[in-house]
A and B are shown apart, each in its own frame.
Chain A
Amino acid sequence: MITGFITFFTIFAVVGAILYGRKLIKTEKSDAVFGNPERAKGGIHWVVVGSSFLLLSWLYYSWDIAKSFYPKSANELCQVAKVNESLLSLKYLFPIVERQHKSTAIIKRENINIEDKIILIQNDPDLKDQDKEIFTNILRDTKLMIPSLTDERYLEDNIKNTINELTIRLNQLTTDFPKDSYPKFTTEEEDEINEGLKKQLGWGATGMEVPPLPESKRGLKFHAAAAELNSISDEFFEMRNHNPEYLRQSEAIFGEIKEYMDGLDDGRELDYIKDIKKLVRRIEYASIFPPKTLDELENAIRAFDKVQNNEQGNLRTIDILLFPAGTIVASGPQCSEAGPGRWLPKPSDTFRIFGEMLKPSVGYKMIPMLWYEMMGVNRIVGFVLPDWIADIMPGKYPVHNQDGTVDPNFKSRMLDIVTGEFEAFKIPVPTGHIWDSFLRVFLGLSLGIIFGVPLGLFMGLNRFAKGFFDPMVELYRPVPPLAWAPLVITVFGIDNVGKVFLLFMVSFSIMIISARAGASGTQLSKIHAAHSLGASRWQIIREVIFPNSLPEILTGIRVAVGMCWGTLVAAEFLAGTTGIGFVENVARKYMQYEVIWITIFVMGMLGLLFDITIRKIIDKTIPWRGKG
């Protein structure tokens, strides 16, 4: 309903914006020539067209439009798929899908096989002449056996009757199928179907699966016809044209084979005879009938196919138009979306699931996406203060008394404080997947900046530092960060420490390089000026070289944020129990395409947010950039 409305709205928006744009071009007095950047300014209407186009493509290719306007279509197409599937094996018997009758094709193929095998046997130098003779004879006999299957005279009456019966059943189905009264169910059967329907969830409720039970009158028709067709084809393929003449010949052949094989050891001879046996068996199981025997059946199938195609009605058009780049029919009786509908989630489902995940009580895997929890200040204090503070306090920890109590003293009270075991008020702290990812990036980046910038500046100023640290940095920096992940995770654990360290490695090298470039790029005259003004070494570093390197450092931070973000998501993919990357990894395992797309979206937005923030900071802190 909403999707339908949005679809119409976006189409109107596109048309309206295009018309407005054309009108503007006509009325605008513009002396701008091609290439004038002025001409690229403005044009919100084209933004509207662009985003509407994107939204429409999404709606269309995720089959959300089909779902919105024809909610029953997927279910009905699924029933059509059932009929197709049931009909297919029967159709293969005749030149409907294939070029030849199946019997013809088999006879042709096996004749060729027999001739090839004879030539192969005759030309095998390792085979005894005696064996060659036996093999060739069996093969010749097999070839001579085929006419026993194709000769009308040998065809038994019961086979004829069965084929007739099946043909009549098919014709009956063909006449009944278009009727309104079809299918007729007993009340029991009807109840059973209704019971199933009650339990059945809607289209999209189980991801890319389409509900398999028919939900409409038309669907029910196809569903019932498919069942009847299945029964017909099962009966047909159970039937074998094994008349007495055929049985006589084939028993003789199998007897010869058995006689030869008795007591035969492994070797070429065994391989040959097994091959020959397989060939004879293939002919045994193939549905070979005399020509013309199945003509009536063929006509019946063609007639039904035509009728069922007619009965599909507008479903075929919907399938072609609204299920782009794929179809539900292709998945057969499985009833799942096969095409972009499978991996491109519908906007409606995506937003519904996103809304659901944002609820702190739901989240993903019991952890909210972004929320807060109340945490006692004591826990924070206990986490921040190292425990050894209590150890270095004067005195000794108390010993228990005779009456089984312990009197706290100053030292033990101190221990309570540094371990966080005291009563305190609670403050809200953020939690959740998004927060965890953010915190890791933030910590890794901060550590990288805190250690990388001073070292980088030092390396830019000091020959020893540059020479000494260069090999270290240059050895690990060119390695893709993820290549370090297995090692880092082994050493520091799969939890926060490992990931933060990995991100520290990423940002550290970037910060070193940018700070170094900034330091060595300081104009000599500025340093000279500072010297003449009486600045000490330390003052020169702090007051001249550092601010002068700020543009480079901030650009470095901007690059590092991007790199850290990318590395983090991949690292969370590898291991861990929280974070955006973790969410995507789990969603991948369970094929929750909506969640995958949501995480992609969230990551994109967060990355953009980081970049915009840093750009803002850069504009604020170094307004002189490029103007010095």
Chain B
Amino acid sequence: MSDLVSQKVNMIFKSLKGEDVHALKDITFTLKKGELLTVLGPSGCGKTTLLNIAAGFLRPTSGSINLGGKEINGPGVERGMVFQQGALFEWLTVNENVNFGLRMKKEDPIKTAKKVEEWLDIVGLKGFGNTPTYQLSGGMQQRVALARCLINDPDLILMDEPLGALDALTREKMQSLVLKIWKETGKTIILITHSVEEALLLGERVYVMAPRPGRIHKEYKLPFASRGLKGDLREIKNDKEFVSKREEILTMIWDMEEEIMGKEI
């Protein structure tokens, strides 16, 4: 089974002053194949650090993360990443961005072109293949980033605030898209977000993290994601249960933020 298993992951940075920053402390969790986990938490609680470790960009100070029984110790194609600003290669067209991974693997260009077309269709960018990416809007760029990651058929998709820079309307569309892709491909997904609403809507499971040291503060198992697959997202947002959960988590994060401020003052 290609489960994601995190065992006592610790991450300690040295700050410029030489002090230790305990970014992650004893992070332990297991994510089954096909699960969608959203991670919430106040700024600076180590969400990005966790994701970077999972992607293999950082090596933890201690502990390890395994995917399908293999320890992660470097970036790999089986773990795709979607960044906040897309991190597209602006000197390439949409097509070239999407087929980047396949080109690196030197796959047959004709087959590649077909796949690219399919994926552009899925993310709703049909006909934009030859557009230079710097001419795309923010939402379109994020779609390209999604397609670029998915075309490689990764086991695990890591998303660091992928929808953070989008306006409300586009965001909603993209949320549906993420859900749709999750359902159709059955991929394991970790999605980091600042929006409690988004975390609740998309997450089958939600982790709320707390800062200093970064740790998993609370875990939720939620039904909204599977309901969102069928119904309208806006309806769910007005659901009583949804609203009460949202308020609960918001209060929790507010308390944490206040605590930090108190400490700093």
Contacts and interface: CB of A to CB of B under 8 A. Distances in A.
B134 A528 contact: no
Given A525-B83, A628-B134, A532 B75 contact: yes
B81 A529 contact: yes
B90 A627 contact: yes
Given A532-B55, A532-B79, A523 B87 contact: yes
A536 B104 CA distance: 8
Contact of B91 (A530, A536, A622): A622
B149 interface: yes
Nearest to B106: A539
Contact of A532 (B81, B85, B90, B91): B81
A627 B148 CA distance: 20
Interface string B74-95: 0111011101110101111000
Nearest to A627: B134
B260 to A, nearest CB: 26
Given A528-B57, A534-B101, A534-B152, A544 B89 contact: yes
Given A528-B83, A534-B76, 6 more contacts: A525-B85, A525-B87, A530-B104, A532-B55, A533-B104, A550-B91
B91 A547 contact: yes
B109 to A, nearest CB: 15
A530 B149 contact: no
A544 B104 CA distance: 12
A529 B77 CA distance: 10
Contacts of B101: 533-535
B213 interface: no
B80 A532 contact: yes
A394 interface: no
A222 B132 CA distance: 81
Band of interface residues on B: 20 to 34
Contact of A623 (B83, B84, B100, B132): B132
A240 interface: no
A547 B96 CA distance: 13
Given A529-B81, A624-B132, A547 B104 contact: no
A534 B103 CA distance: 10
A623 B91 CA distance: 8
A543 B101 CA distance: 11
A523 B83 CA distance: 12
B57 A530 contact: no
Band of interface residues on A: 20 to 34
Contacts of B79: 532
Contact of B87 (A526, A543, A623): A526
A543 B84 CA distance: 21
Contacts of B56: 531
A535 B92 CA distance: 16
Contacts of B105: 534
Interface string A522-564: 0101101111111110010001100110100000000000000
Contact of A531 (B57, B134, B145): B57
B103 to A, nearest CB: 8
A628 B57 contact: no
Given A525-B85, A528-B75, A544-B89, A533 B152 contact: yes
A528 B87 contact: yes
A531 B55 CA distance: 10
B90 A528 contact: no
B134 A624 contact: yes
A526 B89 contact: yes
B164 to A, nearest CB: 13
B104 A539 contact: yes
Given A528-B57, A528-B75, A624-B132, A534 B104 contact: yes
Contacts of B132: 623-624
Contacts of B76: 532, 534
Q: Which one of A529, A531, A543 has the greatest number of beta carbons of chain B within 10 Å?
A: A529
A533 B150 CA distance: 10
A525 B159 CA distance: 12
A547 B80 contact: no
Given A539-B104, A547-B91, A533 B134 contact: no
A548 B134 CA distance: 13
Interface string A117-134: 000000000000000000
Nearest to A523: B87
Nearest to B148: A533
Interface in B90-140: 90-92, 100-101, 104-105, 132-134
B55 to A, nearest CB: 6
Interface in B42-67: 52, 55-57
Contacts of B100: 530, 533, 535, 543
16 contacts: A525-B84, A525-B87, A526-B87, A528-B81, A530-B104, A531-B75, A532-B80, A532-B149, A533-B80, A533-B104, A534-B76, A534-B77, A535-B104, A543-B100, A623-B134, A624-B132
Nearest to A531: B75
B81 A548 contact: no
A532 B56 CA distance: 9
B263 to A, nearest CB: 29
Contacts of A547: 89, 91-92
A237 to B, nearest CB: 87
Contacts of B92: 547
Interface in B142-182: 145, 148-149, 152
Nearest to A547: B91
B106 to A, nearest CB: 10
A530 B92 CA distance: 13
Contacts of A526: 87, 89
Q: Which one of A528, A539, A550 has the greatest number of beta carbons of chain B within 10 Å?
A: A528
Given A534-B152, A623-B132, A624-B132, A529 B87 contact: yes
Nearest to A628: B90
A624 B85 contact: no
Nearest to B92: A547
A532 B92 CA distance: 18
Q: Which one of A533, A550, A628 has the greatest number of beta carbons of chain B within 10 Å?
A: A533
A61 B136 CA distance: 58
Contact of A624 (B55, B77, B87, B91): B91
B89 to A, nearest CB: 7
Interface string A302-318: 00000000000000000
Contacts of B57: 528, 531
B90 A624 contact: yes
Q: Which one of A531, A534, A535, A547 has the greatest number of beta carbons of chain B within 10 Å?
A: A534
B77 A532 contact: yes
A262 B44 CA distance: 109
A528 to B, nearest CB: 5
A280 to B, nearest CB: 91
Nearest to B99: A533
